[in-house]
């Protein structure tokens, strides 16, 4: 581990000032400390933001507002989350392990770095870690890598589960920087790798995530998160799907579909949503819509199976959501 200076921020302003001067935020530390131990991350200054009052979880009308420092485990078990958006709890419980969920913050979850094995090995080429060094995964062991949104420079998936649910539900986030506050869709937080895979998000230097707002809507209990993986816990998704259905008299009025484990960012599938509109909420509609999910996929040498698994996962998730409806 490289030596670093750790300071504690007593206010958002102090934290933002420190970050604007080059410090990195640290909350749960479940990604950052791990990567610092491997020297993948080498921050010289860390600013601990855990003392900031950003842990609230509350209902605002039909909206759900989650503070950026709320822990995954606290959000997952919060009664308002269960009442308004149970899919958020479902997707959180599917993520990481209980120990990690007790530490990891919601803001940190969105900003967690990728799980591509080559990213974590200093002696392997990785444009995300070391821009311009190349991508060892493209011609390497890439079974876990992405098939959507990839570039010739990076094929890493975004690892978050809850981000997939947030993107499906059209959640927004509020951030504050030296120039004040702004809000935008969680979906717009994430960047495609393109030829700058080391740039993963759209925050400007020093911007601090304050909270996440999940809008109320017609979905609520008709939303489900399905994570397909090789073991039952503590394992990233091969493919996951967050789906939400608004069904009336057996017909789908509207739907939301986002998928994880396949994209370089949480991947909203608007074409599938459109295809479901007005269709009966049954398996044949789900299958027809899910087929559209694989348009434009670019499988790698070891992950063709993801293109097969992706529509199956969507269909199954839609059936799960439909059963509740």
Partner 1 sequence: MTVRFIGSPHTRVDGPRKVTGNARYAADFNQAGQAYAVIVSATVGLGRITEMDGASIERMPGVVAVITHHNAEKLPYLPHKAVIDPAEGERLHVLQDDQVRFYGQPVAVVVADTLDDAERAAAALRISYDARRPIVDHAGDEVKAIVPDAATRPGARTLADRSRGEADAAVANAAVKVDENYDIARENHNPMEPHATIASWNGERLTLWSKSQYLVNEQAEIAAIFGLPLENVEVVCPFIGGAFGTSLRTWPHVTLAALAARHIRRPVKLVLTRKQMFFTTGHRPRTLQRIALGATPEGALAGMVHEGTGETSRYEQFMEALTNVTDYLYSCPNVRTQYRLAPLDTSTPNHMRGPGEASGIFAIESAMDELSYKLGIDPIELRRRNEPQLDEAENKPFSSRSLMQCYELGAERFGWTQRTPEPRSMRDGRLLIGMGTATATYPAFHAPASARVRLLADGTAEVEAAASDMGPGTYTSMSQVAAEFLGLPLERVRFRLGRSDYPQTPSHGGSWTMASVGSAIRAACLEVQAQAARRAAADAGSPLSGASVDDLEWSEGLLRRRGDTSPGISYHDIVVRAGVPIEAGGSAQRDPKVAEQYSMHAFGAVFAEVAVDPDVGTIAVRRIVGAYGIGRVVNPLLARSQCTGGMIGGMGMALMERTALDPRDGRPVNAHMADYLMPVNLDIPELEAHFVDEVDPHVNPLGVKGLGEIALVGTAPAIGNAVFHATGKRVRTLPIRIEDMLTA
Of the candidates 261, 10, 274, which has an alpha carbon nearest to the alpha carbon of residue 142?
261
Residues in the chain: 325
Compute the 3-state secondary structure of the chain and give helix, strand, coil in percent, each to the nearest 5. 30, 25, 45
Question: Which span sits near partner 1 by CB under 8 A: 1-9, 188-196, 262-270, 291-299?
Answer: 1-9
Closer CB to partner 1, 136 or 275, in the complex: 136
| Interface with partner 1 (CB under 8 A), residue from 60, 234, 284, 298 | 234
The DSSP secondary-structure symbol of 186 reads G
Q: Rule CB under 8 A: is residue 277 a binding residue for partner 1?
A: no
Minimum distance of partner 1 from residue 128's CB (angstroms)? 16
- The count of other CB atoms within 10 Å of the CB of residue 173 is 24
Please, are residues 40 and 129 in contact by the beta-carbon 8 Å criterion?
yes
Residue among 295, 296, 269, 274 at smallest CA distance from 285: 274
Q: Which is nearer to partner 1, 36 or 189 (CB)?
A: 36
Max Cα distance, the chain (Å) = 62
Q: Which of residues 84-143 bind partner 1 (CB under 8 A)?
A: 97, 115, 117-118, 120-124, 136, 139-141
Question: In degrees, to the nearest 5, what angle opens at C-alpha 233 toward C-alphas 229 and 237?
Answer: 30
Q: Is 62 in the site for partner 1 (CB under 8 A)?
A: no
Residue 172 or 294: the one with the smaller Cβ distance to partner 1 is: 294
Query: Closest Cα partner for 224 from 252, 244, 246, 247?
Result: 244
Query: Given the rule CB under 8 A, which of 59-67, 180-188, 235-243, 256-264 is the region that contacts partner 1?
Result: 235-243
Site string for partner 1, 288-307 (x = CB under 8 A): -----------------x--
Q: Assess 238 for contact with partner 1 (CB under 8 A).
A: yes
Does 1 help bind partner 1 (rule: CB under 8 A)? yes
Sequence-distant contacts of 288-293: CB under 8 A, at least 24 apart: 289/257, 289/314, 289/318, 290/314, 290/315, 290/318, 293/257, 293/259, 293/269
Q: Smallest distance from the beta carbon of 294 to partner 1, in angstroms?
A: 13
Least CB distance from residue 117 to partner 1, whole Å?
4
- Contact residues for partner 1, defined by CB under 8 A: 1-3, 39, 97, 115, 117-118, 120-124, 136, 139-141, 226, 228-235, 238-239, 305, 308-309, 312-313, 315-316
């Amino acid at each position: 581990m490289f030596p670093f200076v750790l300071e504690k921020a007593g206010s958002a302003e102090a934290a933002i000032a420190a970050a604007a001067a080059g410090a990195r935020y640290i909350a749960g530390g479940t990604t950052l400390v791990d990567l610092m131990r491997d020297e993948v991350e080498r921050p010289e200054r860390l600013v601990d933001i855990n003392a900031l009052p950003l842990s609230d979880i509350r209902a605002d009308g039909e909206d759900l507002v989650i503070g950026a420092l709320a822990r995954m485990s606290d959000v997952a078990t919060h009664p308002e989350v269960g009442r308004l958006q149970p899919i958020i709890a479902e997707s959180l419980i599917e993520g990481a392990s209980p120990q990690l969920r007790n530490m990891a913050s919601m803001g940190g979850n969105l900003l967690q770095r990728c799980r591509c094995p080559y990213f974590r090995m200093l002696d392997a080429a990785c444009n995300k870690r070391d821009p311009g060094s190349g991508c060892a995964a493209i011609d390497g062991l890439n079974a876990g890598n992405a098939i959507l949104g990839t570039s010739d420079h990076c094929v890493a998936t975004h690892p978050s589960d809850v981000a997939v649910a947030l993107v499906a539900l059209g959640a927004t986030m509020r951030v504050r920087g030296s120039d004040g506050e702004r809000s935008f869709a969680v979906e717009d937080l994430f960047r495609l790798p393109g030829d700058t895979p080391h740039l993963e998000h759209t925050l400007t230097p020093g911007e601090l995530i304050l909270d996440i707002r999940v809008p109320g809507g017609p979905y609520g209990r008709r939303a489900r998160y399905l994570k397909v993986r090789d073991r039952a816990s503590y394992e990233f998704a091969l493919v996951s799907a967050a789906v939400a259905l608004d069904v009336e008299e057996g017909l789908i009025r509207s739907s939301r579909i986002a998928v994880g484990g396949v994209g370089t960012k949480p991947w909203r599938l608007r074409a599938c949503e459109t295809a479901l509109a007005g269709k009966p909420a049954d398996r044949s509609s789900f299958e027809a819509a899910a087929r559209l999910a694989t348009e434009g996929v670019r499988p790698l040498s070891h992950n063709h199976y993801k293109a097969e698994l992706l529509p199956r996962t969507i269909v199954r998730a839609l059936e799960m959501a439909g059963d509740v409806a």
